[in-house]
């Protein structure tokens, strides 16, 4: 028995391996790749047309089998119902009933009038137009679902076999593919964790009990585009950001197909009210993933935290602060976007010794009474800087590419003027 079972096991393992390879190849070629590049092979249209042909054959076979067995099939109600009714008014109906009576005037009660109400009452019982609107529609043709007609699949053996095959396909193949939330979360985590391992990233997560929850906003300091990978490998998030071109734009288009990320055009980013509304609508839906936002708006070199934009703190939702700190001894994670493109930067990351970092989930924070959005943002920023051992700066990260605002210059001028005026007053007094 043993010598026989060994080749059998080998053959079974080989068949399983071949089946998995074929299944994965089909999944990659016909689902994953088209989803990434936004392509369509017309498979869904072909699938729909094939189903219609199968339904048509099943209907013809069902009608033939019912006729041979003298079996009455249930047919759906027509639009006019079981009873033919003419669209007439109550007054016209009563006049018709009284036409053969002594009087056709409607100025007094006639015993014959009761016939109208009796007839209408019986019609309502037999052909109830309200109740039948709350039951599943009965189809003229059979779509291989017992829920559309419980009699069709028992008419012939071939139809029953076809229905059974449909059950296997629907529950064994289609249903697992459509469990979107569960599979999407698992696939997201798997993909991000593969990226983490590809970067030889060693991540230490602290205080996981404070991880962001649905309906909240996760804010973190920003050092690198891989901050997203670092956080998303431990939980799923909805991303917020500006639409990019090139490789980053391709990645964004692929991501939004599986998760409700929020991408903005450059013109939309300037509209603060539009941004706030879209963020607010997202967090109101507790079934959606927490939003991941980097309020600095640009990458900082892992030493400091710069000014948080106040937009994400005006929504009124619970904020979950996260501090990220990289260990520069193994590789510099900072992305200097003015010097390196995305592909060049990723190459530098892939050729580093390792990406070592620590992530701290801070307790959730809410806006306090009497606190405006700027004060709330500064309080959250201070907590992140303190936990990550980063320098807390008030400067806007936008100064990386833009000029200093005139308001900052005016503040320094006013301060300098006050000093000069004060010195002059002191001299005059002396």
- Structure tokens given for 147: 């829920």
Q: What is the mean pLDDT of residues 294-323?
A: 87
Which of 15-24, 155-164, 198-207, 234-243 is most confident?
A: 198-207
What DSSP string describes 254-293?
HHHTTS--EEE-HHHHT-HHHHHHHHHHHHH-TTSPPEEE
For residue 422, what pLDDT band results from cuts at 50, 70 and 90?
low
| pTM (2 d.p.) | 0.56
Inform me whether the pLDDT recorded for 81 exceeds 60.
Answer: no
357's enclosing H/E stretch is strand 355-361
Lowest mean pLDDT among 266-280, 380-394, 415-429: 415-429
* Residue-wise pLDDT tens digits, 204-256: 899 999 999 888 889 999 988 889 889 988 888 888 777 777 777 777 777 66
Inform me whether the pLDDT recorded for 12 exceeds 50.
Answer: yes
Pairing state of beta strands 201-206 and 391-392? unpaired
For residue 36, what pLDDT band results from cuts at 50, 70 and 90?
low
More confident residue, 79 or 122: 122
Cα pseudo-dihedral 97, 99, 102, 104, rounded to 10: 90
More confident residue, 371 or 123: 371
Cα pseudo-dihedral 220, 225, 229, 231, rounded to 10: 0
* Residue-wise pLDDT tens digits, 161-190: 888 888 888 877 777 666 666 667 777 788
Structure confidence at residue 135 (pLDDT) = 54
Q: Which of 320, 194, 184 is CA-nearest to residue 255?
A: 184
Which of 1-10, 68-77, 118-127, 301-310 is most confident?
A: 301-310
For residue 79, what pLDDT band results from cuts at 50, 70 and 90?
very low
Please state, in angstroms and rounded to a whole number, the distance separating the CA atoms of residues 186 and 116. 64
Q: What is the mean pLDDT of residues 149-165?
A: 70
- Please count the residues of the chain: 430
Q: Which of 128, 100, 93 is CA-nearest to residue 114?
A: 93
Pairing state of beta strands 291-293 and 238-242? parallel
Cα dist. 210→206, 213, 320, 360, 415 in Å? 9, 9, 8, 9, 43
- Structure tokens given for 270: 């300037």
Structure confidence at residue 80 (pLDDT) = 47
Inform me whether the pLDDT recorded for 120 exceeds 50.
Answer: yes
The rounded percent of the chain whose pLDDT value lies above 90 is: 10
Structure confidence at residue 103 (pLDDT) = 59
Give the number of C-alpha atoms closer than 13 A to the C-alpha of residue 228, restricted to the C-beta side: 18
Q: Within a 10 A sphere around the Cβ of 240, how many other Cβ atoms?
A: 20
DSSP H helices, 330-372, are 342-350
DSSP-assigned beta bridge partners for residue 392: 305
* Residue-wise pLDDT tens digits, 317-346: 889 999 999 988 888 888 887 788 888 888
What mean pLDDT, rounded, does the chain reach? Answer: 75
Q: What is the mean pLDDT of residues 3-22?
A: 67
Q: Which of 225, 238, 229, 222 is CA-nearest to residue 203?
A: 229
Structure confidence at residue 10 (pLDDT) = 67
What residues contact 405, with CB distance under 8 A and at least 6 apart?
396
334, 223 contact by CB (below 8 A): yes
219, 312 contact by CB (below 8 A): yes
Structure confidence at residue 429 (pLDDT) = 64
Please state, in angstroms and rounded to a whole number, the distance separating the CA atoms of residues 115 and 112. 6
Structure confidence at residue 350 (pLDDT) = 82
Lowest mean pLDDT among 2-16, 207-221, 243-257, 371-385: 2-16
């Amino acid at each position: 028995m043993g010598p026989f079972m060994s080749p059998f096991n080998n053959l079974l393992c080989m068949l399983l391996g071949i089946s998995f390879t074929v299944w994965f190849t089909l999944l990659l070629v016909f689902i994953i790749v088209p989803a990434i590049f936004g392509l369509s092979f017309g498979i869904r249209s072909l699938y729909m047309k094939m189903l219609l042909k199968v339904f048509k054959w099943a209907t013809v076979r069902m009608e033939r089998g019912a006729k041979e067995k003298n079996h009455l099939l249930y047919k759906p109600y027509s639009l006019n119902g079981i009873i033919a009714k003419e669209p007439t008014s109550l007054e016209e109906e009563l006049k018709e009933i009284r036409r053969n009576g002594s009087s056709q005037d409607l100025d007094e009660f006639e015993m014959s009038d009761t016939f109208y109400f009796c007839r209408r009452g019986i019609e309502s019982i037999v052909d109830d137009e309200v109740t039948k609107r709350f039951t599943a529609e009965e189809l003229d043709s059979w779509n291989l679902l017992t829920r559309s007609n419980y009699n069709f699949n028992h008419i012939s053996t071939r139809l029953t076999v076809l229905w059974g095959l449909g059950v296997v396909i629907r529950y064994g193949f289609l249903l697992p593919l459509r469990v979107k939330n569960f599979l999407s979360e698992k696939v997201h985590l798997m993909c991000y964790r593969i990226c983490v391992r590809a970067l030889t990233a060693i991540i230490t997560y602290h205080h996981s009990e404070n991880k962001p929850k649905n309906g909240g906003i996760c804010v973190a300091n920003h050092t690198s585009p891989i901050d997203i990978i670092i956080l998303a490998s431990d939980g799923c998030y909805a991303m917020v950001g500006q639409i990019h071109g090139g490789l980053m734009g391709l990645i964004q288009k692929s991501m939004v197909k599986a998760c409700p990320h929020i991408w903005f055009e450059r013109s939309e980013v300037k509209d603060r009210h539009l941004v706030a509304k879209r963020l607010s609508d997202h967090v109101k839906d507790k079934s959606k993933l927490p939003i991941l936002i980097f309020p600095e708006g640009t990458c900082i070199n892992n030493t400091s935290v710069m000014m948080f934009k106040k937009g994400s703190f005006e929504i009124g939702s619970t904020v979950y602060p996260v501090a990220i700190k990289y260990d520069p001894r193994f590789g510099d994670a900072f992305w200097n976007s003015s010097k390196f493109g995305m592909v060049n930067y990723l190459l530098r990351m892939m050729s580093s010794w390792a990406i070592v970092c620590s992530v701290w989930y801070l307790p959730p924070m809410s806006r306090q009474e009497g606190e405006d959005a700027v004060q709330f943002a500064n309080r959250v920023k201070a907590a992140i800087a303190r936990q990550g051992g980063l320098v807390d700066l008030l400067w806007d990260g936008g100064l990386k590419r833009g000029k200093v605002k005139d308001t900052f210059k005016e503040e320094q001028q006013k301060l300098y003027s006050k000093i000069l005026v004060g010195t002059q007053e002191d001299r005059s007094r002396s």
